[in-house]
Amino acid sequence: MKQSRPQVPVITVDGPSGSGKGTLCRLLARELGWNLLDSGALYRLVGIAARNHGVGIDNHAALEVLAGHLDVQFQPGADDAGDVRVVLEGEDVTGVVRSEEVGALASQVGAVAAVRAALLDRQRAFCVLPGLVADGRDMGTEVFPEAELKVFLTASPEERAARRFRQLIDKGDAVSLPRLVADIETRDRRDLERSVSPLRPSPEAVLIDTTGVSIADVFARLMSLARERGLA
């Protein structure tokens, strides 16, 4: 007889930095009332943990242990804006987790196969009813290959850098645009060229170029795709 485990619907949204994934996934999860996985945050946290413990990027065995035992809590923020406080090993790292410096660390630990394997179960644990919106680089290809809807977002490198620039400035970080463009290029190259789970669209993914398109319009497109598949 066929097993009758309830099927948890999943929408995966993959793409490079600055493609709009983070904002759109938050909006989608809120609209659908589903759980949200920000997988980039997990890679960023492994990067911070490695730095705190003095573990080098080439020490794969130690990185695997850190990734497998991440002591992290995502706590609701003080206001009602849906903000989340990130606490790693008892330390509030909310202010640094999305910094460019930590993004660069994340992309280095993300190229280590043992780290990716150690984070698989933790990512899949987010897949609970009523559904999951998963934001990342390999959500549709590796982590949730059975997802009902897979989306791959892109945008021109200039627009992605400009979006990141605005985000970081709004957060109060001192960044230079030319430096950011260079950082994004380095990170893109590493994500695209790594041998394990490189950034690439799943063959079933719907490709959406968000260059010059407003968040509201991309969101409307995603909701219409979700409705077409009976998810909303």
Residues that bind ligand C5P (CB under 6 A): 17, 39-40, 43-44, 103, 106-107, 110, 136-138, 187, 191
For residue 169, the minimal CB distance to ligand C5P (Å) is: 17
Q: Which residue's CB is nearer to ligand C5P, number 17 or number 232?
A: 17
For residue 224, the minimal CB distance to ligand C5P (Å) is: 25
Q: Which residue's CB is nearer to ligand C5P, number 110 or number 131?
A: 110
Q: Which residue's CB is nearer to ligand C5P, number 20 or number 136?
A: 136
For residue 167, the minimal CB distance to ligand C5P (Å) is: 11
For residue 139, the minimal CB distance to ligand C5P (Å) is: 6
For residue 110, the minimal CB distance to ligand C5P (Å) is: 3
Cα–Cα distance measured from residue 35 to residue 88, given in angstroms and rounded to the nearest whole number = 21
Q: Which residue's CB is nearer to ligand C5P, number 102 or number 226?
A: 102
Phi then psi for residue 98, to 5 deg, are -100, 15
Q: Which residue's CB is nearer to ligand C5P, number 52 or number 224?
A: 52
Give the residue closest to ligand C5P by C-beta. 40
Buried b (16+ CB within 10 A) or exposed e, 152-168: bbbbebebbbbbbbeeb
Cα first-last separation, the chain: 30
Cα–Cα distance measured from residue 171 to residue 177, given in angstroms and rounded to the nearest whole number = 15
Cα–Cα distance measured from residue 210 to residue 156, given in angstroms and rounded to the nearest whole number = 8
Q: Which two tokens stand for residue 112?
A: 């280590």
Mapped onto helix, strand or coil, the DSSP state of residue 136 is strand
